[in-house]
């Protein structure tokens, strides 16, 4: 278990910058997820920590050691690869023992550690097999086992669940969460799947466009996204944005007015907000409700209905062209092209012209 | 046409698709193979007289000291060339398996010798090997040493031809190895790096097992090729001195086309065929046994 400190890391591939001035502090024993779309640099960052990519500028510390100039094997990290990267010609036992042999661990100790890991992961009966004889899920367990036996200071997971089918992914996710309790180690997970990040990680690092967009607990990221990118990327379906103008409402709080004048009362004092030429109102689906026509904030036309069983997602189009998604009961009778009322009863967010988010002050 | 007959007619038509290949295979491979075996049981010359003699030709071969020397020479030559070709070309492939411009240039340079004809190759190496003003003789002269008669010394002539052959044949196995090396997933090397494996460990535990099939292929191809040594020996030494560099194929040529004893030559060629078949089959079977669980 070790603390990990990234200090102003930068990386370019030829002329193309991929990471720009990344700093991050991960506490010992913490589980952190790097979340972002393809090409945001999250995998490169993980590979830099592992030592598989060089560092152009900045420093990496694991525990008390500066490691960015050390070879991958000397950093005390273990990595689970997206495509498992098991040695195809070695047995499962050999796959797990290979790293320990190279580290000159005693034979009895190797056997004990492999046996223990195989027991935890329930892969004991595969130990004499070769990877080609195993299913994808079983190979994934072996890849995790190969990491566990090394007893590393830091575990690195590079999209470990993306090659599994949906049912297996759910199961493996739960197992990973349990494993984490048991191992009590520092872990970094790279994923583009927000559900994985939300359910597994203590803290999420949202990345986009070569930079860290926000660092926070899953609920902070969801409830108080730092900017429009984070607000859109986390949450499904994503937050909707409506063009608004701000004026003063009750108690000096900002009131966001839609094009036709209907206003939404926010919980943010107008005086606390910076000046900005344009404003957008961010509304998550659970804050928007469908009501009878004429009784809501505005009337809207239903563009599409998605029935999920326990709830119904109603995609609305407003008269001024704005679009948003509202949540309705599972038994909703909303149908396409109906005119309904839109009510907003839940937290809303404001985004200025620079796409920075503004939220009500957190309760103290 | 009945319903049952329709598929049968169809399957005959399907056979038409393989017929051109089958015809060429039968006429140019299978028929000559069987005709050769049949010929080896006859006393025959190029002018037609054919007398069935059973296995007499083979009995004569076992007593023929010229033939036995040619067999020994051929095995020695295979032993000199095949391991050298298999390892040197692997070394080159490992060194040149990188995406730099220099590596691409060197790949071309090392492959270029393979496109030369045997006539050119022997011409070049004659200039290197001859004691009278050859490259090696000149280098020895600079070092103050007397020239070595590489092509006329019975102990040195086969190694000299082997050297020529290795230089000539290096390109193809190197390309085969390169193709195989590029199939090895980069993730395996990364896993090995994280597993603390050094360069040697990575080579022996990741790279070589991953390209095992290609190594077997290269050894088999080179065995088949080098057992059939002919051009280099014929052009550099005519099998001399005193038969010290006469391989089996040169023996065949001399017996069949100089002495016109083609029944006898056919018998010798059947023995060469059997030797090559056994050698390659043995390699194939042992390598398959090891990798069977894969």
**What is the CATH number for A248?**
2.40.50.140
Q: What is the reported pLDDT for B293?
A: 41
Collect all residues of chain A within an 8 Å Cβ-Cβ radius of residue B198: 102
Has the ipTM of the complex gone over 0.85?
no
A194 and A218 fall within a common domain: yes
Q: Please give, rounded to a whole number of angstroms, the shortest distance from the CA of A214 to a CA of chain B.
A: 30
In a domain, B29, yes or no: no
pLDDT at A128: 93
Note whether residue A21 is domain-resident: yes
Question: What whole-number distance in Å separates Cα of residue A361 and Cα of residue B42?
Answer: 106
Measured CA to CA, the distance from residue A129 to residue A58 in angstroms comes to 43
pTM, two decimals, is 0.80
Q: How far apart are CA B247 and CA B255, in angstroms?
A: 12
Q: Is B194–A73 a contact, with Cβ atoms under 8 angstroms apart?
A: yes
- Note which residues in 28-87 of chain B have CB less than 8 A from chain A: none
B281 inside domain: yes
| 3-state SS assignment for residue A62 | strand
Which residues of B fall within a CB distance of 8 Å from A86? 191
- With respect to residue B20, please indicate whether it lies within any of the assigned structural domains: no
Residue B231 domain-assigned (yes or no): yes
The answer on A225 and A143 residing in a single domain is yes
Judged by a CB distance cut-off of 8 A, whether residue B193 touches chain A is: yes
Do A199 and A257 have their domain in common? no
Residue A268 backbone phi and psi in degrees, to 5: -110, 125
Across the interface, do B197 and A103 touch by the CB < 8 Å criterion? no
The pLDDT tens digits for A116-171 are: 999 988 899 999 999 999 988 899 889 999 999 998 989 999 998 888 888 888 88
B294–A130 CB contact, under 8 Å:
yes
Range in A214-223, A349-358, B68-77, B149-158 with the lowest mean pLDDT: B149-158
Has residue A363 been placed in a domain?
no
CA distance A314 to A341: 12
Same domain, A64 and A189: yes
Q: Are residues A227 and A282 in the same domain?
A: no
B153 lies in some domain:
no
Give A72's contacts in chain B (Cβ within 8 Å). Answer: 190, 193-194
Q: Which among A188, A212, A233 is the end of a domain?
A: A233
pLDDT of A306 > 60? The answer is yes
Look up residue A350 and give its DSSP letter. Answer: E
Q: Which residue of A has its CA nearest to B209?
A: A89
DSSP letters along B139-161, please? HHHHTT-----TTTSTTTHHHHH
Q: Are residues A53 and A24 in the same domain?
A: yes
Strand-pair category, A57-62 with A65-66: antiparallel
Which chain B residues contact residue A74 at CB under 8 A?
196
- Provide mean pLDDT across the span A264-280: 88
Asked whether residue B36 is domain-assigned, the answer is no
- A81 contacts on B by Cβ (under 8 Å): 187, 190-191
Q: How far apart are CA A200 and CA A33, in angstroms?
A: 8
Q: Which long-range contacts (CB under 8 A, 24 or more apart) does B33-37 make?
A: B36/B266, B36/B269, B36/B270, B37/B266, B37/B270
Considering the domain architecture, whether residues A190 and A261 belong to the same structural domain is answered as no
Q: DSSP state, A261?
A: S
Is there a domain that residue A364 lies in? no
Domain range for A51 is 4-233
A253 and A227 both lie in a single domain? no
Question: Residue B212 is part of which domain span?
Answer: 56-115+158-293
Whether residue B16 lies inside any domain: the answer is no
| Residue B133 resides in a domain | no
Q: How far apart are CA A342 and CA A326, in angstroms?
A: 8
A261 and A202 in a common domain: no
The CATH number linked to B105 is 1.10.3720.10
Q: Are A251 and A283 within one domain?
A: yes
- CB neighbourhood size of A55 (10 A): 18
For residue A59, pLDDT beyond 70:
yes
Measured between CA atoms, the residue of chain B closest to residue A147 is B195
Same domain as A69, residue A41: yes
Q: With contact defined as beta carbons under 8 Å apart, do B232 and B213 qualify?
A: no
Output the tens digit of pLDDT for each of chain B's 294 residues: 444 445 556 678 888 889 999 999 999 989 998 988 888 888 887 777 788 887 888 888 888 888 899 999 999 999 999 999 999 999 999 998 888 898 889 888 888 888 888 899 998 998 888 878 788 888 888 888 888 888 888 888 999 999 999 999 999 999 999 999 999 999 999 999 999 888 999 999 999 999 988 998 899 899 989 998 888 888 888 887 888 888 999 999 988 888 888 888 889 899 999 989 998 888 888 877 654 444
Cβ separation B205–A98 shorter than 8 A: yes
Are residues A224 and A249 both part of a single domain?
A: no
Domain count, chain B: 1
- Structural domain count of chain A: 2
How much of chain A, in percent, has pLDDT values that exceed 70? 99
Q: Of A192, A216, A233, which residue sits at a domain end?
A: A233
Of A165, A198, A233, which residue is a domain's last? A233
Beta-carbon neighbour count of residue A346 at 10 Å?
Answer: 13
């Amino acid at each position: 278990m070790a603390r990990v400190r990234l200090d102003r890391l930068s990386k370019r591939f030829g002329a193309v910058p991929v990471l720009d001035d990344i700093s991050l502090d991960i506490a010992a024993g913490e589980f952190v997820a790097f979340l972002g779309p393809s090409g945001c640099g999250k995998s490169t960052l993980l590979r830099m920590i592992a030592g598989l990519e060089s560092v152009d500028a900045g420093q990496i510390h694991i525990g008390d050691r500066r490691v960015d100039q050390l070879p991958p094997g000397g950093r005390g990290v273990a990595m689970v690869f997206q495509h498992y990267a098991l040695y195809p010609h070695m047995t499962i036992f050999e796959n797990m023992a290979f790293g320990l042999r190279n580290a000159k661990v005693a034979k009895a100790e190797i056997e004990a550690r492999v046996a223990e890991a195989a027991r935890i992961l329930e892969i004991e009966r595969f130990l004499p097999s070769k990877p080609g004889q195993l299913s994808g899920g079983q190979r994934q367990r072996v890849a995790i086992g190969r990491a566990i036996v090394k007893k590393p200071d830091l575990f690195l997971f590079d999209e470990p669940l993306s090659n599994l089918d949906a049912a297996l992914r759910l199961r493996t996710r739960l197992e990973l969460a349990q494993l984490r309790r048991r191992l009590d180690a520092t872990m970094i997970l790279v994923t583009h799947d927000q559900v994985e990040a939300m359910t597994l990680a203590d803290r999420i690092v949202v990345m986009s466009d070569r930079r860290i967009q926000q660092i926070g607990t899953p609920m902070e990221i969801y409830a108080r996204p730092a900017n429009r990118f984070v607000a859109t990327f986390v949450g499904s379906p994503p937050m909707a944005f409506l063009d608004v103008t701000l004026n003063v409402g009750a108690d000096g709080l900002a009131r966001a007015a839609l094009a036709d004048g209907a206003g939404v009362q926010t919980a943010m004092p107008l005086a606390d907000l910076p000046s900005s030429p344009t404003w957008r109102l961010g509304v998550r689906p659970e804050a928007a409700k469908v009501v009878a026509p004429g009784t809501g904030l505005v009337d809207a036309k239903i563009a599409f209905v998605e029935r999920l069983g326990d709830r119904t997602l109603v995609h609305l189009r407003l008269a001024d062209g704005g679009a948003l998604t509202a949540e309705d009961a599972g038994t909703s009778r909303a149908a396409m092209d109906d005119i309904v009322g839109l009510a907003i009863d839940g937290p809303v967010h404001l985004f200025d012209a620079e796409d920075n988010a503004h939220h009500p002050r957190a309760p103290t | 046409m009945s319903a049952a007959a329709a598929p049968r007619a169809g399957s005959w038509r399907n056979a038409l698709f393989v017929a051109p290949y089958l015809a060429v295979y039968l006429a140019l491979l299978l028929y000559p193979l069987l005709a050769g075996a049949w010929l080896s049981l006859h006393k025959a010359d190029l002018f037609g007289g054919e007398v069935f003699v059973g296995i007499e030709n083979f009995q004569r071969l076992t007593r023929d000291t010229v033939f036995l020397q040619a067999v020994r020479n051929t095995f020695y030559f295979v032993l000199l060339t095949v391991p050298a070709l298999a390892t040197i070309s692997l070394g080159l492939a490992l060194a040149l398996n990188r995406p730099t411009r220099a590596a691409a240039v060197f790949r071309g340079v090392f492959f270029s010798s393979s496109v030369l004809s045997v006539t050119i190759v022997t011409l070049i190496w004659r200039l290197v090997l001859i004691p009278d003003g050859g490259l090696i003789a000149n280098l020895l002269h600079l070092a103050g040493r007397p020239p070595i008669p590489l092509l006329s010394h019975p102990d040195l002539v086969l190694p000299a031809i082997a050297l020529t052959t290795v230089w000539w044949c290096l390109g193809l196995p190197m390309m085969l190895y390169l193709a195989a090396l590029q199939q090895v997933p980069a993730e395996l090397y990364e896993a090995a790096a994280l597993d603390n494996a050094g360069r040697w460990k990575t080579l022996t535990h990741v790279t070589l097992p991953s390209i095992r099939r290609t190594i077997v292929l290269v050894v088999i191809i080179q065995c088949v090729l080098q057992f059939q040594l002919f051009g280099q020996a014929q052009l550099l030494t005519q099998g001399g001195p005193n038969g010290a560099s006469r391989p089996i194929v040169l023996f065949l040529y001399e017996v069949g086309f100089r002495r016109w004893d083609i029944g006898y030559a056919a018998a010798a060629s059947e023995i060469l065929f059997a030797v090559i078949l056994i050698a390659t089959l043995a390699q194939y079977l042992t390598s398959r046994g090891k990798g069977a669980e894969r």
